[in-house]
DNA sequence: TCAAAAGTGTTCTCGATACACCCATGC
DNA sequence: GCATGGGTGTATCGAGAACACTTTTGA
């Protein structure tokens, strides 16, 4: 059998995720009629896929995502108009601070939704979100993705919230802190504190990528499993 | 800025992996001049990507791969001829038994290579193989991929070899067997043994997908970590 | 009878879990 | 002074790692 080669329309879509107010948030753009979609677009001529994803993020948020990774390529559905098209999906993690700024919507409106309160999405995008969420949870135990959702300086309580939201369960404060401390992947910023509206001021910390790398290279598997 | 949408050439490539003689094997096709490539091809018009991958496997081996999964989409290199092209890579696991048969080479020659003795590969394919190997190792601990490399009936020693080859280290026989036994994901085939050329005959076993699924649904993480 | 592979339990150590109170701060 | 969130230590349990000999089989 021979097969007609034929070119195919390629589309890049990005699942932008953040955690704020103890909830997992996902950015969607309105496509009218109460229907929403993941930020997406066509790669320009000669533009590498990953750069197209970066551009889509920049166009929406005006910032660069620190963490951007390919998720999956969806190519098994044939849309109504009979044209072939595949979607290469990426996911990116955005610190909550960046989410406070004004959204640079361009012509279309964009909004952050709680991941468990998503509106109706265009065909296939709900699946993409599901896969992204699953991947995020999976990566939490053996990579440092959790830190990508935090600003450079953070409290241990904030870090713990990240883990709790992604894992969907509460963790014991003392056990959590002991493990983080013993791993040594976090460093106290001597004298730097953040005081919220209430309660005692929190010691600020910094992530230590060097230490994390060392541990990771020991191929220990799921350090950071809770 | 506006970007010209433009269609893109899409290519499917498959990393076919197997374990035999205590070595990890990878199938390559000759493209002449001492240069080799992963089995690959264009999806036909309207053919879903995964089906294209299945077809490529069928054309090479004359069999259907039990385990086939998407690996990654490579779209960041622009080949010499300046034409845009992306490669959607899949990986598949093949039991050693299937590898004993004659290879159905078609017009091009195909050969199984030891993964640590690969010949020169066409641009980008070495990277694909690296990613596939990494993914296989990662999946070993929290899925049942190991069993995809075995025939339906197997000895515990054979199963252990699969784990040792993928992990690249030797395991303690007693610890390995205890863990497998306690998980209950394997069943003795009463009275069925396989006797090799030397030594005591081995009790044959069968994988129990039902039990594995139950354990997996408990979201325990890395059951099967060694 | 010998070489080769299959099979079998116990001990120790370390990491995961469970659990409750005092401290600093803003109002 | 009180409500709110930050910070701390110990005891128990279970899973992982280390470790050596007996049994069966074919030649």
Q: What is the pLDDT of residues B40-86, one digit of tens each?
A: 999 887 788 999 999 999 998 888 999 999 999 998 655 544 556 88
Model confidence pLDDT, tens digit, residues A166-214: 999 999 999 999 999 999 999 999 888 988 888 999 999 999 999 999 8
pLDDT value at residue A191:
81
In the block, residue with structure tokens 């845009």: B84
Provide CB contacts within 8 A for B86, sequence distance 6+: A10, A49, A88, B8, B9, B10, B11, B73, B74, B75
* Measured distance CA(A98)–CA(A94) in Å, rounded: 7
**Could you tell me the end-to-end alpha-carbon distance of chain B, in angstroms, rounded to an integer?**
52
B168 touching A, CB under 8 A? no
> Among A94, A14, A103, which Cα is nearest to A50's?
A14
Are A225 and B221 an interchain contact pair (Cβ–Cβ within 8 Å)?
Answer: yes
Are A43 and B141 an interchain contact pair (Cβ–Cβ within 8 Å)?
Answer: no
The set of strand C positions with any atom below 7 Å of a protein CB reads 3-10, 16-20, 23-27
A58 touching B, CB under 8 A? no
Which of A6, A49, A78 is nearest residue B86 as measured by Cβ atoms? A49
Instruction: Please report, for residues A96, A142, B191, the alpha-carbon distance to residue A176 in angstroms, rounded to integers and kept in the order given.
Output: 22, 16, 50
pLDDT of B2 over the 50 cut: no
- Name the burial class of residue B168, with classes exposed (0-12), middle (13-18) and buried (19+) by CB atoms within 10 angstroms of its CB: exposed
Residue B7: pLDDT band (50, 70, 90) is: low
Tokens of A32: 């009218």
Selected for mutation to probe chain A from B1, B5, B138, B219 (highest A CB count within 10 Å) is B5
pLDDT of B219 over the 80 cut: no
> Among A52, A42, A113, A34, which Cα is nearest to B7's?
A42
DSSP state of B198: S
pLDDT of B105 over the 70 cut: no
Q: What are phi and psi of A154, to 5 degrees?
A: -150, 160
Angle at which helix A209-217 crosses helix A173-183, to 10 degrees, equals 80
A83 touching B, CB under 8 A? no
Model confidence pLDDT, tens digit, residues B47-57: 889 999 999 99
Q: Closest nucleotide to residue A193 (Cα to C1')?
A: D6
Which of B47, B49, B73 is nearest residue A70 as measured by Cβ atoms? B73
């Amino acid at each position: 059998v021979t097969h007609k080669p034929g070119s195919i329309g390629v589309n890049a879509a990005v699942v932008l995720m953040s955690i704020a107010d103890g909830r997992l948030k996902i950015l969607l753009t309105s496509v009218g009629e109460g229907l929403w979609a993941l930020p997406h677009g066509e790669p320009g001529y000669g533009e590498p896929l990953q750069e197209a994803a970066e551009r889509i993020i920049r166009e929406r948020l005006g910032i660069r995502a620190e963490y951007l990774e390919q998720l999956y390529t969806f190519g098994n559905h044939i849309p109504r108009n009979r044209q072939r098209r595949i979607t290469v999906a990426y996911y990116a993690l955005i610190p909550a601070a960046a989410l406070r700024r004004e959204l640079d919507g361009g012509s279309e409106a964009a909004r952050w939704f709680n991941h468990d309160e998503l509106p109706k999405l265009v065909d296939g995008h709900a699946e993409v979100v599901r896969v992204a969420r699953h991947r995020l949870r999976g990566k939490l135990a053996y990579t440092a993705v959790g830190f990508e959702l935090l600003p450079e300086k953070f409290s241990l309580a904030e870090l713990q919230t990240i883990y709790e939201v992604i894992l969907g369960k509460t963790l014991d404060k003392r056990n959590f802190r002991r493990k983080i401390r013993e791993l040594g992947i976090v460093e106290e910023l001597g004298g730097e504190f953040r005081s919220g509206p209430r309660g005692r001021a929190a010691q600020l910390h910094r992530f230590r990528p060097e230490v994390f790398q060392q541990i990771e290279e020991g191929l220990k598997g799921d350090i950071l499993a809770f």
